[in-house]
Amino acid sequence: MKKKIAILGSTGSIGTSLLKLIHKDKKTFTIQLLSANKNYKKLLRQAKIFDVKNLIITDINSFNKLKIKTKELNINVFNNFDSLNKIFKNKIDYVMSSIIGLEGLNPTIKIIKHTKNIAIANKESIICGWSLLNFQLKKNNTNFIPVDSEHFSIWYGLQNIPLNKVEKFYLTASGGPLLNYPINKFHKVSVTQTLKHPNWKMGKKISVDSATMMNKIFEIIEANKIFNIPYAKLSILIEPSSYIHAILKFNNGMIKIIAHDTTMVVPIFNTLYLNKNKILKTKKININKLNNLDLKLLNHNKFPVINILKKLKNNTTMFETVIVSANDQLVNLFLKKKIKYLDISRLLLKVINMKEFKKYNSIKPKAVKSILDLSKYVRLKINSMCV
């Protein structure tokens, strides 16, 4: 019997990579749902290739255009995720949730009850709404697998090993495009420079986050939420080649290093074929990279956002929403050339130290709406500060 799956955010890089894997093994899977925000042309192409009968597209203009395009086809097109109960009559086998931004939180929460396994590649949802997600996972007995290479590596490294056996967890960072750029020239850093990541092909927003090291801060927060690892046990190491993704130091003296090629195909493949005897053809071990790892500690002066971790508690609060939303809006302003590169970290640290926002470090998120409302307010605050 074919495995029934759904992909939220199928037109993005994660969704596209997953579909390439499925295309090589069509006999194993049947796709029951694909979703996108605006890219209705790509979504329709995917639906035709994989014979998908249910599509969700959230942008109203794209929805209207897609409805016209599918008028003569046997395809159901929906405009929001309230339609999930119509689409799924029984639990499916696997969902990939890869919608970008906080827009992915509500759909992810809603689809959990409809699947046996869910892989989540949406960092904002995990950071801001983990307590809400985890409640639904437990309530619906749904298995969760992290997709991000660092978190998948921790998950993989912890198989059949209790958390208390690990003394320290190290997440690696390439250092981004500015790793070797002189700090005294940071005031001249351009948008173009921040987008030239040395190892990964990524979108503009995450590329800037990699340059500031904010992406790695987010990954530390995610690790704290997903695995319940205290922040005191989490550290960042610079590893310029992006070959090592996590290092686990055990309290019996042993050290486990998790490495794989610089591609998201490896963790995506392993979430899709969880516990199955499937083989992924990959490159041979790169001896040159292993001999030249050049591991080093993070330069706090060069990447001051690391100081954010000192302010976080070991439980999910609304303060994470403040951090995510403020950073998101600042990066957006930087990409529009409304602020300078150094303004991102300067203003971010300023905002989270404001009295009106510090109080959220003691408030737990109770609903998706409260997270989205706070996010909207923080963004407006950032705009008022930068005008």
* Residue 248 identity: L
What is the structure's pLDDT at 144? Answer: 96
324, pLDDT greater than 80:
yes
In which band, very low, low, confident or very high, does the pLDDT at 197 lie, cut at 50, 70 and 90? confident
What is the structure's pLDDT at 10? Answer: 97
Residues of the chain with CATH 3.40.50.720: 3-146
The CATH code belonging to domain 3-146 is 3.40.50.720
What is the structure's pLDDT at 313? Answer: 87
What is the structure's pLDDT at 277? Answer: 83
Q: Which long-range contacts link 176-181 to residues 24+ away (Cβ below 8 Å)?
A: 176/207, 176/210, 176/211, 176/212, 176/213, 177/207, 177/210, 177/211, 178/211, 178/302, 179/238, 179/240
Token pair 């190290």 in the structure block, residue? 170
387, pLDDT greater than 80:
no
pLDDT digits (tens, 9 = 90+) for 154-165: 999 999 999 999
202, pLDDT greater than 80:
no
Mean of pLDDT values over 357-376: 95
pLDDT digits (tens, 9 = 90+) for 270-318: 999 987 888 999 999 999 999 998 899 989 999 999 999 999 988 889 9
Sheet holding 166-173, edge to edge: 255-259, 244-250, 166-173, 234-238, 296-297
Q: What percentage of the chain carries pLDDT values higher than 70?
A: 100
Closest CA to 358 of 330, 328, 318, 385: 318
What is the structure's pLDDT at 24? Answer: 92
Q: What percentage of the chain carries pLDDT values higher than 90?
A: 88
Average pLDDT, the chain: 94
pLDDT digits (tens, 9 = 90+) for 172-187: 999 889 989 999 999 9
Mean of pLDDT values over 91-108: 95
What is the structure's pLDDT at 274? Answer: 85
208, pLDDT greater than 80:
yes
